[in-house]
Amino acid sequence: MKERIEALMAEIEALSCKNEQEIEEARVRLLGKKGEVTKLFEEFRTVAPELKREFGQKLNVLKNTAAAKIEELKNAAEEAPAAAQAAFDYTMPGDPVQLGSRHPVSIAREEIVGIFRKFGYDVAEGPEVEDDWHVFEALNFPPEHPAREMQDTFFISDSDNPVLLRTHTSSVQVRAMEKMPLPIRIVCPGRVFRNEAISARAHCIFHQVEGLYIDENVTFADMKQAILLFAREMFGAQTQIRMRPSYFPFTEPSAEVDVSCNICGGKGCNICKGTGWLEIMGCGMVDPNVLEASGIDSTKYSGFAFGMGVERIAMLKWQVRDLRNYFENDLRFLKEFETSL
């Protein structure tokens, strides 16, 4: 009996329970009507009288220890949730959430569009997957023009009426001329696609903003003024522009626009390759053929159009030297634009 009391004592002292159900089970197993401790008390009746005193004491200690242990476990279980809460420090800083920043191409696009909005231009958009009519035909591209070749354009189907990815946002001016009431004064931001090898200066996906103004008596001088005002808003009040004769199928006459280099102030540096000028866009008076193709009377209406690359404007504004930076999502590059939020 002595050994059984000692074994049970050791068991009680080591007792641990996970929850209140387990505590109750332990109580029944030890102190219940048929419990181990209760059984020992029954056996105690048969113990020889000279040993009764010793065993009696031991049994009482055992019973009290078991009852105290059960009580202790119950209290601990009740306090556990409160203890866990007390351990939670509400003053600790939270897990930091990394804030993203706007992409430089988005910042530049919104700045360009914002400037023209201030001048009274609306924003128009069109599909990236286009047909031959809106990208080439209606814009007066002759059938043998190289832009219609596979080297320059991504074709999706090569039927008689091919489906292709637009190579410029000039397609949106055709869509606008087809359905908008005159006069039209719009800018068309969007993504364009060209079958080009990727390098520091070229990419197969980039962004353009197209501009179009059609009304009665719109002149080349109006265009020059609009572009000068834009350039000064974008690159600073000292900015000068110059126009060089150029060729686009959809404008006549056509020009290439340069802005004075704001890095060297026109003296010549490695950004402007020593010329003092940076090319920013193409422009011209909308060719009468283009107006007529969209059902606009070219004897009554005239207009100008311009188109610029958003990445290029952003490169000039923030001196980004490699176009690929825009597409690689390197956080070290993107973080430089964080403050522009």
The structure tokens 């005002």 sit at 229
Nearest to ligand DAH of 126, 307 (CB atom): 307
Asked whether the beta carbons of 311 and 203 are under 8 A apart, the reply is yes
Indicate whether 276 belongs to the interface with ligand DAH (CB under 6 A): no
Closest distance between ligand DAH and the C-beta of residue 176, in Å?
A: 12
Closest distance between ligand DAH and the C-beta of residue 284, in Å?
A: 4
Closest distance between ligand DAH and the C-beta of residue 287, in Å?
A: 9
| Cα 273 from chain centre | 34
Indicate whether 141 belongs to the interface with ligand DAH (CB under 6 A): no
Indicate whether 283 belongs to the interface with ligand DAH (CB under 6 A): yes
Asked whether the beta carbons of 279 and 256 are under 8 A apart, the reply is yes
| Concatenated DSSP letters of 86-144 | HH--TTSPPPPPPP----HHHHHHHHHHHHHHHTTPEE----SEEEHHHHTGGGT--TT
Residue 338's nearest CA partner among 313, 311, 318, 323 is 318
Closest distance between ligand DAH and the C-beta of residue 319, in Å?
A: 23
110-135 burial, b if ≥16 CB within 10 A, otherwise e?
Answer: ebbbebbeeeebeebebeeebbbebb
The two tokens of residue 38 are: 């209760």
Indicate whether 251 belongs to the interface with ligand DAH (CB under 6 A): yes
The structure tokens 């003092």 sit at 276
Asked whether the beta carbons of 166 and 136 are under 8 A apart, the reply is no
Nearest to ligand DAH of 66, 241 (CB atom): 241
| Residue among 287, 307, 312, 337 that touches ligand DAH (CB under 6 A) | 307
Q: What is the maximum span of the chain, computed from C-alpha positions, in angstroms? A: 134
Closest distance between ligand DAH and the C-beta of residue 147, in Å?
A: 9
Indicate whether 170 belongs to the interface with ligand DAH (CB under 6 A): yes
Tell me 50's DSSP state: H
Asked whether the beta carbons of 66 and 28 are under 8 A apart, the reply is no
| Residue among 105, 138, 187, 305 that touches ligand DAH (CB under 6 A) | 305
Indicate whether 306 belongs to the interface with ligand DAH (CB under 6 A): yes
Nearest to ligand DAH of 107, 210 (CB atom): 210
Query: Distances in Å between the alpha carbon of 204 and those of 78, 207, 302, 313?
Result: 67, 10, 33, 17
Of 55-63, 65-73, 99-107, 305-313, the segment contacting ligand DAH by CB under 6 A is: 305-313
| Residue among 126, 189, 276, 284 that touches ligand DAH (CB under 6 A) | 284
Of 58-66, 116-124, 259-267, 301-309, the segment contacting ligand DAH by CB under 6 A is: 301-309
Closest distance between ligand DAH and the C-beta of residue 305, in Å?
A: 3
| Residue among 282, 311, 312, 315 that touches ligand DAH (CB under 6 A) | 282
Indicate whether 175 belongs to the interface with ligand DAH (CB under 6 A): no
Alpha helices, H only, the chain: 2-14, 20-31, 36-44, 49-87, 104-118, 132-135, 170-179, 220-235, 288-293, 310-318, 325-328, 331-334
CA angle 190, 108, 117 (to 5 degrees): 75
Of 51-59, 122-130, 280-288, 320-328, the segment contacting ligand DAH by CB under 6 A is: 280-288
Give the residue closest to ligand DAH by C-beta: 307
Strand, coil or helix: what is 249? coil
Nearest to ligand DAH of 6, 247 (CB atom): 247
| Residue among 55, 248, 277, 301 that touches ligand DAH (CB under 6 A) | 248
Indicate whether 210 belongs to the interface with ligand DAH (CB under 6 A): yes
Interacting residues with ligand DAH (CB under 6 A): 168, 170, 210, 248, 251, 282-284, 305-307
